[in-house]
Amino acid sequence: MVTKKTKRQQQEHLPGLEPIRHIEIEEAAEAYIAARDQRMAMTKVEVEQRTILMQAMSVRDLREYKYDGYVVSRVAGVEKIKVNQIPTGGADAGERDEGEAPEGDDQF
């Protein structure tokens, strides 16, 4: 007969032997938790926007779409989309996050 182990209750600390609290670490941890939670919430929004973009490209049967210095490309064989800035020779040319649309552009 196998018995299930129960979780043992942790013994309380003796007076004067409590763990040292590091307020700086606790504040930094709270700031990190807030930033992480905000990033996780934005990831959900990004995934939703990427899905909308992928559907818009699929409905129109487009593999690539160019506009205003950007190129939107569907990756063949997988459900993935890329949005890249078309290099103009400037230092700020580069890849944008997947599914990210330029500000003020809500046409689909």
- List the chain pLDDT tens, one digit each, 108 residues: 566 667 777 778 788 887 888 999 999 999 999 999 999 999 999 999 999 999 999 999 999 999 999 999 998 888 889 999 988 875 554 555 555 444 544 444
What's the predicted TM-score (pTM) here? 0.55
Q: How far apart are CA 95 and CA 82, in angstroms?
A: 8
Our measurement of the distance from residue 8's CA atom to the centroid of its chain's CA atoms, rounded to an integer in Å, reads 38
